[in-house]
Amino acid sequence: MELIPLTPDYPLTAFDCGDEDLNKFLLDDAKPSQELRIANTFILEADDGRIAAYFCLLSDKVSKDEVIGSRWKKVRSRFPKGKQFRSYPSVKIGRLAVSVDFRGLHVGKTMMKMLVNKLQIERNALAFRFITVDAYLSAVPFYEKNGFVHLTKKDEDEHTRLMYFDMMEIDG
């Protein structure tokens, strides 16, 4: 499998991950979003050319305003005195999906490793500390298995949960 940055001439074919919004984003919105510089998409292409999965990335921040007291202390305690700010730069996973044809084969896990490696390579070009995601409730266990943790309890009753991954986890 190969991770390919989406380009204007990339032939987007049918993609079904079982979620209409995520299917539609890839086919209709990924290229315009890239053109407008609001989200960059990457395709995981199978050896036979099918689209196995995709994700898109955009800039974000982890901010004190989104987090209840004790959780924010946890985030802030990762930084030395003098570097304890009200927010920290992050990269957000805007969308992420695996085709139903490739489900349960650790394709998501493999793609997440590629995503983190890709961002690690970019660390000298752009400073960011965390990866964030608004995880569908059904996908929360998947993100937990990939090292993501909840950022706040405020969203416990919502249909997505804000989660984050600390890039320093892979430095240590």
- Residue corresponding to tokens 């802030």: 76
22 binds ligand COA (CB under 6 A): yes
Answer yes or no whether residue 96 interacts with ligand COA by CB under 6 A: yes
Output phi, psi for 17, to 5 deg.
-110, 5
* 123 touches ligand COA by CB under 6 A: no
Beginning with the edge strand found earlier in the chain, give each strand of the sheet holding 160-166 in spatial order.
2-5, 40-45, 51-63, 87-98, 130-136, 160-166, 149-150
Q: Total residues contacting ligand COA (rule CB under 6 A)?
A: 22
Does position 24 bind ligand COA by CB under 6 A?
Answer: no
Question: For ligand COA, which is the closer residue by CB, 72 or 148?
Answer: 148
Q: Which is nearer to ligand COA, 3 or 84 (CB)?
A: 3
Rounded to whole angstroms, how far apart are CA atoms 77 and 70?
Answer: 10
Instruction: Please report, as ranges, the residues that interact with ligand COA according to CB under 6 A.
Output: 17-19, 22, 96-98, 103-109, 133, 135-136, 138-139, 141-142, 145
